[in-house]
Each structure stands twice: as C-alpha cells, then as structure tokens.
C-alpha cells in the first residue's frame, strides 16, 4: 500500500471522530463555537508536531513568500466557511447523510485542481469519482418524492444548495493547501506539509477568534469554559490536518479525497453506534458504490 493511502485513511478516521465531537458540542457552545474548536484546540498540537519534526531531523523552518501566504490564507478561509456550512447541514440531515453531501467535494476538487494547478486525473480515477458522486446523489435524494418532479424539487432545496456549497469550499481549500505546500521551496515533504498545516491553523484561529469575540462572545467564551470536552476535537483535528496535508503533497488532491471517502463508511458506524440513527437499504447500496469507487482509485 502506498504511503499516501495510509495517510488518507488515518485522516478520514480522525476527521470522522473530530466531526462527531463537534456535533456533540453544538448543543453546548453553539454552531460557531463548535466550528471554532477544531482550529483553536488543534493549534497547540500542530505547533508541537512541527517543532518535534524539525528538531528531530535538525531542519530549519521553510522560508515563506507572498505566494505561500496567499494560498494558505485562501485555503484557511475556505475551510472555515466549509466547517460552518457542514455543521449547519447537520440541522437538515442526519449525521451520515450530512457528511455525504460534503462529498461532492471530490468532483469539485478535481475541477479546482485542473484549473489552479493544471493537474488532470486519469480516466480510471475520473470514472471512480463519477461513481462516487452517483452514490452521493443516492444518499442525498433517496428520501425525496419519487419521480422527476420529486427529484427536481430536491435539486432546488436549501439542503442541496448547502451541500454543494459545502463541497465547493472544501474542494477549494484542499487544492489551495496543496498549492501552499508546493510554494515552500525548502525542507522535506513532511516539514513543508506541517508548516502549511500550522500556518493555516494559526490564521484560522486568529481570524475566527476575533469574529466570534465580537459577534458571538458567549460561544467564544464557552469554547474555553468547556476545554476538557473540546480538547479531543483539537487533537483529532490536528492529526486530520497533518495527514491530509502530507497526503496532498504525495499525490493529487482528487485521488486522495476519493480514497478519503472511506470516511463515509466510518461515519455510518458512528451514526449508528453513537447517535443511534438508522441506516436504510438505499444508503447501504450507495456505500457499496463508494467502496467500488475507492477500489478503482487504489488500483489505478
């Protein structure tokens, strides 16, 4: 198994755990507060990991330029917006289906990657992404009315708009982060990816913290009052970010995110075991298609 696949699987697993923790904290500190803790509590872990790797290998931190800061800032802003949209999406769908909506990001990431970086996926990976998107549409629309009119109504629903927007911002952020890592001219691959992860988390923590302190101070303060329950979210968030960034540096974003759809399988387990949400037969069929999609990418 290639190294980038291992990092993608670890990232998908910890991302599910982080999202589950955020969903549990929504009722305690609110949507904005639950969005914020994935960054604020991840920052210390990201800094520690960057320091440990650089010190252990006796490496100097990579030099940055305006191109790096542009991409890391764009990616960080897009990820903040994605986080809030995803948590908002949970108010409209169950946990498993809500995450499925965001998986349209795989197709959108392939488009952004072609436009921004100029890298186009192979035919087999393209087919895999198409199958994955079809599975996601099944998950998205299986509860809507039967017939073309029902499908048309679902396509124009607020949930669909939220899902597409969520996927777009996630796709833009992942491609921007890859561009930021590639903009760093010094250091080994892990150091450059870790540097990008730390800088993006730092910017996100500062910017979102200022916004919350001004407009939703209660949720901002609440994120610190309940620090014991928020800390695991930060740990899982830091591991997730580091693993995604390293995987993006090793392989094109579209392939990594296609394999990362294994998160949906893990999400279904979390959905049933923790949130006691029932998984339908259509959802299971869609998950089978996602497995086929992932295998096509792995054997491409």
When the pLDDT of each residue in the chain is averaged and rounded to a whole number, the result is: 84
DSSP, collapsed to helix, strand or coil, labels residue 104 as coil
Estimate the crossing angle of helix 95-102 against helix 66-89, to 10 degrees: 150
Please measure the distance between the N-terminal and C-terminal CA atoms of the chain and give it in whole angstroms: 13
Estimate the crossing angle of helix 189-215 against helix 43-56, to 10 degrees: 160
- Judge whether 259 and 9 are in contact, CB under 8 Å: yes
Out of 45-59, 133-147, 263-277, the most confident range is 45-59
What pLDDT shows up at residue 148?
A: 46
Measured CA to CA, the distance from residue 284 to residue 261 in angstroms comes to 14
Per the listing, tokens 């697993």 go with 13
| Whether residue 146 has pLDDT greater than 50 | no
Count Cβ neighbours within 10 Å for each residue of 176-201 and write b for 16 or more, e otherwise. bbbbbbbbbeebeebbbbbbbbbbbb
Measured CA to CA, the distance from residue 224 to residue 15 in angstroms comes to 21
Average pLDDT, stretch 200-210? 94
- Judge whether 167 and 102 are in contact, CB under 8 Å: yes
Estimate the crossing angle of helix 3-40 against helix 262-273, to 10 degrees: 50
Which phi-psi region, left, alpha or beta, contains residue 132 (left: φ > 0; alpha: ψ -120 to 50)?
alpha
- Judge whether 297 and 258 are in contact, CB under 8 Å: yes
CB atoms within 10 A of CB 269: 12
Which pLDDT band holds residue 6 (cuts at 50, 70, 90)?
very high
- Judge whether 255 and 104 are in contact, CB under 8 Å: no
Q: Report which of 250, 243, 286, 228 is spatially closest to residue 100, judged by C-alpha positions.
A: 286
Residues ≥6 apart with Cβ < 8 Å to 147: none
pLDDT in tens, 89-139: 766 655 555 555 666 788 888 888 988 888 888 888 888 888 887 877 676
For the chain, which residues make up each domain, given as ranges? Answer: 3-298
| Whether residue 202 has pLDDT greater than 90 | yes
Q: Which two tokens stand for residue 161?
A: 């708009």
């Amino acid at each position: 198994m290639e190294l980038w696949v291992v990092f993608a699987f670890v990232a998908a697993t910890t991302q599910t755990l982080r999202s589950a923790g955020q969903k549990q904290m929504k009722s305690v500190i609110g949507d904005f507060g639950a969005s914020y803790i994935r960054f604020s509590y991840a920052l210390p872990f990201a800094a520690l990991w960057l320091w440990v790797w650089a010190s252990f290998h006796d490496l100097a931190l990579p030099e940055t330029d305006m191109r790096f800061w542009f991409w890391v800032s764009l990616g960080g802003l897009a990820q903040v917006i994605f986080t809030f949209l995803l948590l908002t999406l949970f108010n409209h769908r169950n946990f498993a289906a809500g995450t499925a909506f965001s998986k349209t990001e795989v197709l959108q990431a392939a488009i952004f990657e072609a436009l921004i970086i100029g890298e186009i996926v192979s035919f087999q990976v393209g087919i895999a992404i198409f199958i994955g998107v079809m599975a996601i549409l099944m998950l998205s629309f299986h509860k809507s009315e039967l017939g073309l009119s029902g499908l048309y109504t679902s396509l124009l629903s607020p949930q669909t708009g939220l899902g597409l927007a969520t996927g777009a911002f996630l796709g833009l952020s992942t491609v921007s982060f890859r561009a930021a890592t590639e903009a760093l001219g010094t250091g080994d691959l892990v150091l450059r990816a870790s540097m990008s992860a730390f800088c993006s988390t730092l910017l996100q923590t500062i910017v979102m913290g200022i916004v919350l302190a001004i407009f939703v101070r209660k949720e901002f303060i609440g994120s610190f009052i309940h620090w014991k329950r928020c800390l695991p979210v930060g740990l899982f968030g830091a591991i997730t970010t580091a693993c995604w960034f390293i995987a993006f540096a090793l392989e094109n974003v579209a392939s990594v995110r296609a394999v990362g759809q294994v998160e949906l399988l893990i999400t279904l387990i979390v959905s049933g075991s923790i949130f006691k949400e029932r998984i339908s037969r259509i959802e299971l069929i869609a998950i089978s298609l996602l497995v086929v999609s992932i295998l096509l990418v792995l054997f491409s």
